[in-house]
Amino acid sequence: MNIITNAMTVDVEDYFHVSAFESVITQKDWPNLPLRVEKNTYRLLELFEQHGVKGTFFTLGWVAERCPDLIKAIVDQGHELASHGYKHQRATNMTREEFEADVRLSKNILEDASGTEVIGYRAPSFSINESNTWVFEVLSELGFKYSSSTYPINHDLYGVPDWPRFAYQREEGILEIPVPTLRKNNVNTGIGGGGYFRLLPYWISKKRINKYLREETQPYSFYFHPWEIDPEQPRVAGASLKSRLRHYINLSGMENKLIKLLKDHHWSTMQDVYLNPKK
């Protein structure tokens, strides 16, 4: 039986960058808040090394500016470095010119810090939809080869439920790799990671992932953030109850769940799984 190689991805941002807190934390606040992303990402590198896993790190340019040694470590340990934009602003909230400037800056910072070419991009909060498909044109113009910026589900913050569920080549020249979903009764349910993974018992997540692999015979990709293994992170005051629940639920159990996930499947980078698959 062929073992499917799946893609492990990390969105490298800190707890104060998340869209859920943007109403109470502004970009002017960021420099004055405790930076925890560096320590948490080094911990992830340790876990990946222990379990022989390579992954793709979609990294904010803002983080790379402040943690250049971390960027070097990611690449030196054989992982793929990709862009998450510069300042974690949703693509749906930017003009074409603003988006181009943000992503160009992030690409330049990441490439300068790592000495490697950056060809992958993920929009903050999966913020590509029918209103801004020009994003793909900009990415192609900047030299990107692929994006993983769409989630074909119904969600109050994002989602394109009618868009393709599997990797596909767009006319702009970008390979779009959607976050994985299960489909039942013509409705898509997210199984790609994030809050869904922290909320559910691990055995349920494992069952759902295996169902996807069995029924779809497509590679699976998983995403999460360094702050999700950090139960000691500062609590943000003033955010809505929904935002706090989404962000803080089951942080204490995430690392153990992640270790099980690393053991139970075969993982590699987005580039290796989708652009350079082994025959």
Mean pLDDT along residues 161-185: 92
Distance linking the first and last C-alpha atoms of the chain:
14
Residue owning tokens 């596909």: 168
Q: How many Cβ atoms sit within 10 Å of the Cβ of residue 42?
A: 15
User: What is 41-70 written as a DSSP string?
Assistant: HHHHHHHHHHTT---EEEE-HHHHHH-HHH
Residue-wise pLDDT for 212-267, tens only, equals 999 998 999 999 999 999 999 999 888 888 888 889 999 999 999 999 999 999 99
In sequence order, what are the beta bridge partners of 146?
A: 120, 175
Q: Can you tell me the distance from the alpha carbon of 272 to that of 279, in angstroms, rounded to the nearest whole number?
A: 11
Residue owning tokens 């490298």: 12
pLDDT > 90: percent of the chain: 80
111 neighbors 142 (Cβ within 8 angstroms): no
What number of residues does the chain have? 279
Q: Can you tell me the distance from the alpha carbon of 150 to that of 55, in angstroms, rounded to the nearest whole number?
A: 19
Nearest of 120, 122, 196 to residue 155 by alpha carbon: 196
The predicted pLDDT at position 109 comes to 98
Residue-wise pLDDT for 76-103, tens only, equals 999 999 999 999 999 999 999 999 999 9
User: What is 135-203 written as a DSSP string?
Assistant: HHHHHHHTT--EE-----S--SS---TTS-SS-EE-TTS-EE-PPPEEEETTEEEE-SBTHHHHHS-HH
Domain ranges of the chain: 5-275
Mean pLDDT along residues 14-32: 92
Q: Which residues contact 124 (CB under 8 A, 6 or more apart)?
A: 13, 19, 84, 85, 88, 89, 90, 91
Residue-wise pLDDT for 132-141, tens only, equals 999 999 999 9
Q: pTM for this structure?
A: 0.95
Class of domain 5-275 (CATH, top level): alpha beta
pLDDT band at 157 (very low <50, low <70, confident <90, very high): low
